[in-house]
């Protein structure tokens, strides 16, 4: 498909009218929107690259698309950058700047006739189109490691380093560290942590410096579930601490998940002018059957951009400040109710909801999103300090229950973004977040109901209808 045909196909799919097509979550109107591949602020705009597959059954190959935005409201039309091809995938990596162009770093995963898979790390120049690409000149594969992918390039004290996700021969997931020298890239060794065997493979490693702290983002596969953690098939999280690149060591606290929902994986982070932004994939690998839009010609979405702040070794997330412009101001409703055990909120199509609750004597609180007879529940147990997300009341798509720790003495803060199928929730001013998808059977607006087992001291909040993203 040439550029003109691509543009015609894209705009012919707009406007989005199906009851399951999201309005303010970035997604392609056809094919499978997959993991973010890299993000950078360049020439006055955020440039986002993400992976995409023409097929929706998970059986095609993966390429890269590019879009740009100045405000996370208006985007350029996503255009193909890399592949896909019949015999290879172009996996996520990162983006750096070189003079007046960008450099794309990625993994090309090649499939041979005999069913073998080989991975090669590449870099490519890019302006408005791909200018050149060449394989990275890396030393021979270190003995005892395999499945290298997802190159991440960063600088420290005018020196460039490279991280690669990998799998060790003893079955551990890990990240390998390289340093750029006059003769090319030099292998330094494994980036050592105190985790021991934690997952069977690490994907998407990214090392970010935040003042006197370092944060290692990565996606460990094969982590065993626990009662209140690691409840997805694959996890996405971080270690916060201090990295010594000279000794290839990271001193850190506990591994923490970035999201407690059902549908979140493979995030990309980017820094600009003191801000750390994150965009993740609202999907889960090897769970294709949970996303029924595949039969309609599209699947998955990306999260809204989140702004991260590190406090006391924990990352707090908030919707990027630009997203306030999505609010349709004439739709704004504010409310405050004293001493009540229940409250019902009719919601507009595409809603943002801010809630603050002083629990009073209440020990258990339930918020329901009801789509007719179908119900999504958020249940808070104050005595056990547990939040539960219950998707068992939905008919289509993935179901199940997620439970995690959430601490509150008296006040609970909630921040909902409710799109057609994509829902994002920020708890306790971003102490925890949850991303999930629901696929209501009927095209009806949800109704939010709050109910407690005793009188709440106060319920206050605001509701807005949100505008759609725009493409040009």
pTM of the predicted protein model: 0.96
- Tell me what pLDDT residue 51 has: 98
Range with the largest mean pLDDT of 111-115, 117-121, 229-233: 229-233
- Tell me what pLDDT residue 131 has: 81
In the chain, CATH 2.115.10.20 covers: 3-321
From the number of C-beta atoms within 10 Å of its C-beta (0-12, 13-18, 19+), residue 38 rates as buried
- Tell me what pLDDT residue 3 has: 84
pLDDT in tens, 28-57: 999 999 999 999 999 999 999 999 999 998
- Tell me what pLDDT residue 128 has: 80
What integer is the mean pLDDT of 152-159? 95
- Tell me what pLDDT residue 425 has: 98
Q: Is the pLDDT of residue 383 over 90?
A: yes
CA 471/CA 466 separation, integer angstroms: 16
> Would you say 58 and 52 are in contact if contact means Cβ atoms under 8 Å apart?
no
Q: Is the pLDDT of residue 111 over 90?
A: no
**Helix (H/G/I), strand (E/B), else coil: 72:** coil
In the chain, CATH 2.60.120.560 covers: 324-471
pLDDT in tens, 249-261: 999 999 999 999 9
Q: Is the pLDDT of residue 113 over 80?
A: no
| pLDDT tier for residue 112 given thresholds of 50, 70 and 90 | confident
| pLDDT tier for residue 144 given thresholds of 50, 70 and 90 | very high
| Three-state helix/strand/coil letters over 167-201 | EECCCCEEEEEEEEECCEEEEEEECECCCCCCCCE
- Tell me what pLDDT residue 117 has: 80
324-471: CATH topology is Jelly Rolls (2.60.120)
pLDDT in tens, 435-451: 999 999 999 999 999 99
pLDDT in tens, 179-220: 999 889 999 999 999 999 999 999 999 999 999 999 999 999
- Tell me what pLDDT residue 107 has: 96
Q: Is the pLDDT of residue 306 over 90?
A: yes
- Tell me what pLDDT residue 361 has: 94
Helices (H), 69-228: none
- Tell me what pLDDT residue 262 has: 98
Q: Is the pLDDT of residue 133 over 90?
A: no
Q: Is the pLDDT of residue 431 over 90?
A: yes
CA 55/CA 47 separation, integer angstroms: 25
- Tell me what pLDDT residue 344 has: 95
Which of 330, 353, 325 lies closest to 470 in space, CA to CA?
325
Q: Of residues 260 and 83, which shows the higher confidence score?
A: 260
- Tell me what pLDDT residue 142 has: 87
Whether the link from the prior residue into 15 is cis, omega within 30° of 0, is yes
CA 390/CA 401 separation, integer angstroms: 5
Q: Is the pLDDT of residue 116 over 80?
A: no
- Rounded mean pLDDT of the chain? 95
Which of 441, 402, 433, 439 lies closest to 417 in space, CA to CA?
433
Strand partners, 42: 45
What integer is the mean pLDDT of 320-335? 97
- Tell me what pLDDT residue 342 has: 93
Q: Is the pLDDT of residue 396 over 90?
A: yes
> From its phi and psi, is residue 43 left (phi > 0), alpha (psi between -120 and 50) or beta?
left
What integer is the mean pLDDT of 83-107? 93
The CATH superfamily holding the domain 3-321 is Glycosyl hydrolase domain; family 43 (2.115.10.20)
What integer is the mean pLDDT of 96-101? 92
CA 417/CA 427 separation, integer angstroms: 12
Q: Of residues 86 and 368, which shows the higher confidence score?
A: 368
| DSSP character at residue 161 | E
- Tell me what pLDDT residue 314 has: 98
- Tell me what pLDDT residue 85 has: 86
Q: Is the pLDDT of residue 87 over 90?
A: no
- Tell me what pLDDT residue 223 has: 96
- Tell me what pLDDT residue 83 has: 86
What integer is the mean pLDDT of 125-152? 90
């Amino acid at each position: 498909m040439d550029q003109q045909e691509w543009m015609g196909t894209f705009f012919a799919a707009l406007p989005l009218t199906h009851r399951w097509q999201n309005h303010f979550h970035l997604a392609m109107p056809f094919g499978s929107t997959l993991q973010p591949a890299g993000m950078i602020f360049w020439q006055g705009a955020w440039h986002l690259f993400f992976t995409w597959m023409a097929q929706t059954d998970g059986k095609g190959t993966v390429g890269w698309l590019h879009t740009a935005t100045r405000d996370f409201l208006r985007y350029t039309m996503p255009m193909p950058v890399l592949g896909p091809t019949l015999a290879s995938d172009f996996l996520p990596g990162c983006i750096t700047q070189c003079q007046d162009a960008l450099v794309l770093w990625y993994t090309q995963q090649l499939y041979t006739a005999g069913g073998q898979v080989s991975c090669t790390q590449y870099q490519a120049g890019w302006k408005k189109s791909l200018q050149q690409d060449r394989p990275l000149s890396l030393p021979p594969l270190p003995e005892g490691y395999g499945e290298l992918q997802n190159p991440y390039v960063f600088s420290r004290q005018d020196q460039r380093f490279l991280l690669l996700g990998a799998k060790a021969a003893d079955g551990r997931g890990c990240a390998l560290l390289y340093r750029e020298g006059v003769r090319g890239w030099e292998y330094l060794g494994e980036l050592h942590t105190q985790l021991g065997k934690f997952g069977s493979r690490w994907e998407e490693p990214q090392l970010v410096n935040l003042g006197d702290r370092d944060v290692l983002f990565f996606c460990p596969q094969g982590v065993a579930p626990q009662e209140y953690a690691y409840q997805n098939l694959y996890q996405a999280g971080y270690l916060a601490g201090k990295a010594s690149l000279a000794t290839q060591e990271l001193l850190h606290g506990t591994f923490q998940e970035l999201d407690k929902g059902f549908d979140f994986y493979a995030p990309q982070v980017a820094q600009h002018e003191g801000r750390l932004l994150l965009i993740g994939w609202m999907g889960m690998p090897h769970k294709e059957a949970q996303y029924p839009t595949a039969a309609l010609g599209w699947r998955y979405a990306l999260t809204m951009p989140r702004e991260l702040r590190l406090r006391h070794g924990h990352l707090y997330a908030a919707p990027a400040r630009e997203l306030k412009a999505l609010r349709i101001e004439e739709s704004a409703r504010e409310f405050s109710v004293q001493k009540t055990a229940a409250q019902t909120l009719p919601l507009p199509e595409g809603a943002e909801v801010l809630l603050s609750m002083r629990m009073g004597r209440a020990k258990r609180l339930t918020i329901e999103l009801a789509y007719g007879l179908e119900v999504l529940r958020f249940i808070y147990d104050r005595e056990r300090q547990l939040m539960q997300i219950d998707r068992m009341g939905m008919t289509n798509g993935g179901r199940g229950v997620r439970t995690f720790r959430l601490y509150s003495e008296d006040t609970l803060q909630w921040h909902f973004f409710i799109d057609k199928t994509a829902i994002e929730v920020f708890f306790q001013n971003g102490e925890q977040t949850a991303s999930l998808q629901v696929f209501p059977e009927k095209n009806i607006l949800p109704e939010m109901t709050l109910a407690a087992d005793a009188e709440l001291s106060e319920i206050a909040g605001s509701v807005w209808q949100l505008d759609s993203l725009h493409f040009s």
